[in-house]
Chains A and B, each alone.
Chain A
Amino acid sequence: MSLLEVKDLQVRVEEREILHGLSLTVNPGEVHAIMGPNGSGKSTLSHVIAGKPGYEVTGGQILFRGEDLLEMEPNERAAKGVFLAFQYPVEIPGVTTWNFLHAALNAQRKARGEDEISSPAFLKKVREVAKSLNIPQDMLKRGVNVGFSGGEKKRNEILQMALFEPAVCILDEMDSGLDIDALRIAADGVNALRSPERAMVVITHYQRLLNYIVPDFVHVMSKGRVVKSGGKELALELEESGYAQFEDAA
């Protein structure tokens, strides 16, 4: 069974159809890159998979290990193992990163019928992960993402990914707003999480990120559809020729 199957997905926002029948199959261990110009529907796809309100699915389905993902609340999807790394992680003043992560991890464990993790055990775990990502301890005591730089916010997303150990990670424009050093740190964090059980869907505008996170498959999106799929060489090809060639195909 595939891990994630998007079948002929049609999505509207208000009166406008954004996705016109998108299909994508992701198996464990695979890294898929989704590329495409602005407005091609890349972020919409990531939002619909995660369950963001405001989108109307008018056709098709999304299956996660064969279960209908669209029937689940966003928190249920997270507990099942779907993780979205946000393009723009939000700031939550007054809620410490530490508290937030502990509450979220326990909520996921509870939803899966697992025991809650105690504060000392959680502390140990989060410290280890933070250290491996070069995240200073005092960041964990601050409000979630409050006053974080762009690079710190992305590292905080990867920290959560490492902590929650999801089955599918959707990385939405992880490279936006990052300089080359920050990008390398973030990509190293993601690569460390690659495993035969875990799949990744890397959404990006530029080929650059894919030098660091090397995909198994590349899909080109245009106007709400996947218009071409191929291996990692497709990304390089796009870098040469641009997206314009696909505009007509869509």
Chain B
Amino acid sequence: MNVVAKTETGRALGDAFAVARDRLPGKGKIADQRRQAFEAYERSGLPHRRIEDWKYTDLRALMREVLPLAPAPDAAALGRAAAAAKLRAIDGVRRLVLVDGAFAPHLSDLGSLEKGLGIRSLREVLDAGDGALSAQAFATDVSNPMIALNGAMATDGVVIEIADGTVLAQPLHIVHVASGTAPASIFTRSLLRLGRDTNVTLVESYLAGEGAKAYQAHDALIVAIGDNARFDHVRLVEDSIDAFNISSATISLGAHAHLNTFGLTSGGHVSRYQLTVACAGEGSKVETNGVNLINGTQHADTTLFMDHAVPHCASREIFRAVVDDRAHSVFQGRIIVRPDAQKTDAKMMTRALLLSDDAEADNKPELEIFADDVTCGHGATTGALDESLLFYMRARGLPEKEAQALLIQAFVGEAIESIASDALREVAIATAQRWLEARA
């Protein structure tokens, strides 16, 4: 056991926090919360395999240390970020760009905001001393060390407020770009508040600017969905192949609200996405879908916590992993149905497709049910591509990789199909297509 190294790493980060403190917005109560969050993180350090939740994603082994904060982006870094964002631009969206942990207003579309839409940077909100918003942005579950660390270190993000009754025709697109050329940590934190009867679509992309190296992206998203509101969320992780992406989303739903969230991870060396969804109002509906497309030595972990606290809510999870070479996919899905949550209808299905003998997929569905009148189920399968299908397709003239690509598309299709917007579904399909073409 390498106690000395661990202590040194811990001290280094403690110093980094002390040094960074001047760069971290938020005074008074927020500064206190940051310090408490950091102390919570320090008590556990980087999570490791002996902690049940992190059994398959041992950050102490995979990441070893948290790097110092990335410097604020200079003009060159912003230029590289603009190029990266342009390459993955999506038509018809309102783009909001975060570069190396700083909101980049000049790369963002802030003109002619629709009525009922408010956008500010997190730094702006904290500097303005908006107590309620700040408190909501920093209401953090400090029992999770990486979410706690994010709460301590977040330098910026976006705060989006949607007034009651607002239907946003134009999706919002938060683009996270790592653009610094030296390895560093990026900590961002964003908040979305959807009022009653709103309808909002958010896309998130994680990208690297040219020359970005072995960075660590730490992001947290907090979403509060009001009564009778609908939130569609598409998340695309296309970080560079040596990068870390340790992110979380914490989403709460009011009554009769609807959440449809989809995530696709094809980039990054090591990624972990911790998604917590809480049904806090009756009659709400949650669709959580995800796809991992990974190869080489990539490691991608999606850890979902679906919390049914009130009656008459429904949740569906469809997760598909395609794992090639020596890559490792992890899906942990925990559904809790609390005693009051009668008539809950919760179903989860995860399937993994292993394309090589050395590929690994861990599926861990967990149901904890404390109510007696519910419909809950889960299933998990792991397997290889069906040889008889491959032969049939090859006998019709398709080369092996092309035949595999069609079968892989079909395999992930069910999860991608769940995206409500035609245009965004096409974006997700194109992202999957890029991965398939790269392996052909």
Contact = CB atoms under 8 A, between A and B. Distances in A.
Nearest to B403: A75
Given A53-B387, A94-B414, A78 B406 contact: no
Interface in A81-140: 83-84, 86, 89-90, 92-95, 99-100, 103-105, 107-108, 111
Contact of B406 (A51, A99, A105): A99
B410 A51 contact: no
Contacts of B386: 90
Interface in B82-118: none
A103 B398 contact: yes
Given A74-B391, A99-B406, A107-B402, A94 B413 contact: yes
Interface in B392-439: 392-400, 402-403, 406-407, 409-411, 413-414
* Most chain A beta-carbon neighbours within 10 Å: one of B386, B397, B409, B414: B397
Given A53-B391, A86-B392, A94 B410 contact: yes
A52 interface: yes
B407 A75 contact: no
A102 B245 CA distance: 39
Interface string A154-170: 00000010001000000
B402 A90 contact: no
Contacts, number: 75
Given A99-B406, A103-B402, A78 B395 contact: yes
B409 A94 contact: yes
* Chain A: interface size category: 20 to 34
Q: Is the interface of B mostly helix, strand, loop or mixed?
A: helix
A169 to B, nearest CB: 12
Contact of B400 (A75, A83, A104): A75
A218 interface: no
Contacts of B411: 94
B357 to A, nearest CB: 16
B409 A108 contact: no
A73 interface: yes
Nearest to B387: A53
Contacts of A143: 410
B389 interface: yes
Interface string B203-235: 000000000000000000000000000000000
Contact of B392 (A53, A79, A92, A93): A92
Nearest to A80: B397
B2 interface: no
B394 A78 contact: yes
B413 A84 contact: no
B410 A95 contact: yes
A250 to B, nearest CB: 29
B2 to A, nearest CB: 47
A50 interface: yes
Contact of A90 (B389, B397, B409, B413): B389
Contacts of B397: 75, 78-79, 104-105, 107-108, 111, 164
B415 to A, nearest CB: 11
A93 B351 CA distance: 15
Contact of B410 (A77, A86, A92, A160): A92
B396 A160 contact: yes
A111 B400 CA distance: 13
B394 A75 contact: yes
A96 B414 CA distance: 13
Contacts of A77: 395
B436 to A, nearest CB: 12
Contacts of B394: 51, 73-75, 78
A242 B77 CA distance: 83
B403 to A, nearest CB: 8
Interface of A: 50-53, 73-75, 77-79, 83-84, 86, 89-90, 92-95, 99-100, 103-105, 107-108, 111, 143, 160, 164
Interface of B: 386-389, 391-400, 402-403, 406-407, 409-411, 413-414
Given A105-B397, A111-B397, 7 more contacts: A53-B387, A75-B394, A89-B392, A92-B406, A93-B410, A94-B407, A99-B406
9 contacts: A51-B394, A75-B394, A75-B400, A86-B395, A90-B389, A92-B410, A94-B407, A95-B406, A164-B396
